[in-house]
Structure 1
Amino acid sequence: MALVLLNARMSERSFKHWSAPAVLPLIALMLSKFSLIMPLSTAEAIRFQLLQAPPFIVNISADLKYCVGEITTSTNALKGVEQFLAQLNHREVWMASSVHKGEHEGELRELYRLMPISVIGGSFLPTSSGHNIAEAMAAGSAVITGPHVGHFSHMVSAMQSFNPLSILQVSGEAELIKSLHELLSDPLKLEARQTAAKQAFHALSFGILSRVWIQLDWFILKRLPV
C-alpha cells in the first residue's frame, strides 16, 4: 500500500514541536512510511526534510484548495437571494463569511457569486486559521481579508503577487469600514478588484489537478506492481 500526503502543511510552530528530541524519532518514523509527500512551499518542504522525511519523496505541489469547482447557483437559491435583495430596496450590500460555526459551503458558494464584496470574517481573529478565499475569488467577488489568514497565507501572497488588486488585506475594523466605503462608492474601483480576483484565481488554479496527477502517476502508480 502506498501512502501519499497531499497538500502537506508544516507550520513553523508545528515544526518546532516535532523537532523536540522526545518526539523527533516518532515523526521521523511516521514520515518514512510515506511514498510521496507533497508540501505547498519550499519552506515546508525543507521542514519535512529536517524532520527526516526521505528527500526523494518530498516534492512541492500545487495547492488543491484552489480546486473549488465551477461556481453555480441553483434556480431556487437564486430566486431566494433575489427576493432578499429586492427587500433591501437596492441598497448597497456586502457579505461577511466564515464568521460563525454552521455556515455551509454550498450556501457560501452561491452567495459569493451574487455579492459584490466578500469579507472573509475568519481572518480577523488571531486565534483563527483563516478561511479559503478561492471560492469568493472564483465567483468574481471583491475579496477583503483581515490580518490573520493562517493556513491560507501562501495563497494570499500568491494572489497579491499576481495582481495586487486581487485581494485587499486590512489591519482591522477601522480600515475595513474605510475600504468598504471606498469600494461601494466607486463602481470602477469595485469592478477592478472583482476582475482582478477572478483573473488571479483562474491563472493560479489552471492545471492544478493535472500537475498533481502527473506527480502521483510518476511517483506512485508507475511503481506499483502489475
Structure 2
Amino acid sequence: MTKAAFAAYAFAGTLAYPFLRPYVGWRVSKGKEDKRRQRERYGIASKPRPKAGPLIWLHAASVGESLAVAPLVRAMACDGLQIVMTTGTITSANLVEERLADCVIHQYVPLDVGPAVGRFLDHWRPDLAIVAESEIWPLTIHELARRRIPQILVNARMSDRSFQRWKARPRIAEVLFEKFAHVIAQSDVDAERFRLLGAHAVSLAGNLKADAAPLSADSAALEELSGAVGARPRFAAISTHPGEEDLVAETHLALRLRHEGLLTILVPRHADRGAAIAKMLADKGLTVTRRSEGVLPDAATDVYLGDTMGELGLYLRLSEIAFIGKSITGQGGQNPIEAAMLATGILTGRYVQNFRDTYQRLLRAGGARIVRDADELTVQVDTLLVDPIQRMAMARAALRAIDDMRGALDRTLAALDPFLHPLRLSVSLERQGRVGSVR
C-alpha cells in the first residue's frame, strides 16, 4: 500500500513534468516566480558547485523560515562549511541575497518531481540536508535517503491540521518521517507528534525565531513615515486574512470619534489583496492611503494600507499595539514573535493553534490578550489607547516573554553537532593539506 502510494505520487510527478512549464510561466506572470531564474525550479543550477569541501543544503520555504535559520546559517558558515540555501518565494530570495549572500549560495528550491530533484542533487552533491520547520516533500525525502544523504528537520513544527492528515495515513507517514536522521522540534507537542508519526530521533530545542534578529526597517522610510503620522493615536492590524479587515474597519469606525485623528495601520497577509481591501474600506466611508502607491498618510487618512511585501518591520515600529490576524476568521494564527520582539502589545483571536506554545507564553506574561470579535477588539484597542502606562507594560511583557524563549540556537547546534563535526573535520584537514602543499 505504501509503496503503491509513493509510486503513484512519483509517477504522477513524472507525467506532470512536461506540463509544469506553463504552470511556472503562469506564476511568473503573477509575480510569484523570478522570470530570470525560473530554470532553477527545474533543478537547473545557475551557479557552480564549490570545487572542493563538504556542502550543506539548507532549505527555508519563505521569509519567516529564512529569518529563523539565519543565525544558524552564520554559525555553520563560521566553521568554514559551504552552504547552498534554497527558498521558494521571491521575497525570501531577496532577503537571503540581502542578509546572507556573503556566506551562502542561493537557489530556488526544485519542484518535487523526479527530474528536477535528481538534477539538483546531481549538481550540488550535498553531504547533509537541513530543512526548516514543516516542509515535507515526499520525493525529495525519498531521493535524499536513496543517496544516503542525512536529512534533518530543524525548528520543526506540526500543526493540528497536518498532524490529523498524517495520522490518517500512518504507514505513509512512518515511511517518510523515519527517513529523517534527526528532528529538532520547537515544542513538546511538536516533538511528540513527530515521534508518533514515525520519526526515530527527536529532540526539543525551542523556537529559533526567538534567537533571530528583530525585523529590519529602512531608516529613511521609517523617518519619513513617522514624520507623516506624527503624534496621532494609532494601532496596527497585521497579517490579516479575509473577513478580519472588516472587523478592523468596524473597530476604527467605533473609535474614531473617541480618539481624534485615529490612524489604523492595516497590513494584510497577502499584499495582492490590497485593491479589494481598499475598495471595501472606501465603501464603509473610510479614507485609505496605500503604501504600494507610494503615498504618505495625511491628516485625512483613516487607514494606512500596508500592501507591500517585506516591510512588516517598518509597520510594526509605528505602533505599540498590534492585532495579529488569521486568528478570528482565519484558523491557526500567525507568528507573534516578530511583533513581540519590537515591544508591541499583542491582540489575537482564539484560533492560534499553529503557534500555541508561543501564545501561551505571551498570555501568561501579560504580553498578549485574546479578543473574540470586533466588539472585544474595539474594547481592547480603546483601553490601550487611553492608558499609555498599561500599553507600555503590555509591550514590555511581550518582549520579556520572547527573551525567556531564547537559547534555541545553542540547543539546535548541539543537536546538529554529530552531523556537523565530521564536515568541520574535513574542512580542517583540507586546509592543513593546502598549507602543507604550499610549504
* Both proteins in one fold, TM over 0.5: yes
Which bracket does the TM-score occupy, shorter chain normalised? 0.7 to 0.9
Taking the aligned partners of 2:410 and 2:309, their CA distance within structure 1 comes to 24
**1:213 is matched with which residue?**
413
From 137, 148, 153, give the equivalent of 1:5. Answer: 153
Gaps of 5+ in 2: 1-148, 241-267, 272-306, 427-439
Deviation string, structure 1 residues 104-148 (Cα, Å, up to 9, x no partner): 5631112212212111122222x3331111111111111111112
Q: Is the 8 A contact 1:68 1:135 kept in 2?
A: no
Which 4+ residue blocks in structure 1 deviate beyond 6 angstroms? none
1:106 equivalent to 2:250? Answer: no
Gaps of 5+ in 1: none
Deviation string, structure 1 residues 69-113 (Cα, Å, up to 9, x no partner): 134433311222123203xxx331111111231255631112212
1:123 equivalent to 2:327? Answer: yes
**1:84 is matched with which residue?**
228
Look up the equivalent residue of 2:157 and give its one-letter code: R
Taking the aligned partners of 1:52 and 1:60, their CA distance within structure 2 comes to 16
Q: Map 1:72-221; keep pairs closer than 5 Å.
A: 72-86=216-230, 90-99=231-240, 100=268, 101-102=270-271, 103-104=307-308, 106-125=310-329, 127-161=330-364, 163=365, 165-204=366-405, 206-218=406-418, 220-221=419-420
Deviation string, structure 1 residues 187-226 (Cα, Å, up to 9, x no partner): 111111111111222221x2221221111114x2246695
Secondary structure at 1:98 match in 2: strand
**2:9 is matched with which residue?**
none
Taking the aligned partners of 2:401 and 2:175, their CA distance within structure 1 comes to 39
Taking the aligned partners of 2:202 and 2:193, their CA distance within structure 1 comes to 10
Taking the aligned partners of 1:212 and 1:152, their CA distance within structure 2 comes to 19
Q: Is the 8 A contact 1:183 1:190 kept in 2?
A: yes
Taking the aligned partners of 1:207 and 1:49, their CA distance within structure 2 comes to 23
Taking the aligned partners of 2:381 and 2:167, their CA distance within structure 1 comes to 43
Shifted more, 41-50 versus 183-192: the winner is: 41-50
Taking the aligned partners of 2:216 and 2:166, their CA distance within structure 1 comes to 42
Q: TM-score, normalised by structure 1?
A: 0.84
Q: In the superposition, relative to structure 1, how do residues 73 and 40 fare at CA in structure 2: closer, same or farther (>3 Å)?
A: closer
Taking the aligned partners of 1:74 and 1:210, their CA distance within structure 2 comes to 30
**1:63 is matched with which residue?**
207
Q: TM-score, normalised by structure 2?
A: 0.45
Q: Is the 8 A contact 1:45 1:60 kept in 2?
A: yes
**1:51 is matched with which residue?**
197
Q: Which has the higher contact order (CA 8 A, sep 6+)?
A: 1
Across the aligned residues of Structure 1 and Structure 2, the Cα RMSD in angstroms comes to 2.2
Q: Percent identity?
A: 29
**2:83 is matched with which residue?**
none
Alignment: residue pair count: 214
Secondary structure at 2:205 match in 1: coil
Shifted more, 194-203 versus 63-72: the winner is: 63-72
Deviation string, structure 1 residues 14-55 (Cα, Å, up to 9, x no partner): 3333233xx32222111121110122222332222222222x
Taking the aligned partners of 2:233 and 2:186, their CA distance within structure 1 comes to 38
Q: Is the 8 A contact 2:208 2:408 kept in 1?
A: yes
TM-superposed CA distance for 1:178, in Å, is 0.4
TM-superposed CA distance for 1:174, in Å, is 1.0
Taking the aligned partners of 1:41 and 1:68, their CA distance within structure 2 comes to 17
**2:135 is matched with which residue?**
none
Taking the aligned partners of 1:63 and 1:27, their CA distance within structure 2 comes to 24
Taking the aligned partners of 1:73 and 1:31, their CA distance within structure 2 comes to 38
Query: Which is greater in Rg?
Result: 2
From 22, 25, 30, give the equivalent of 2:176. Answer: 30
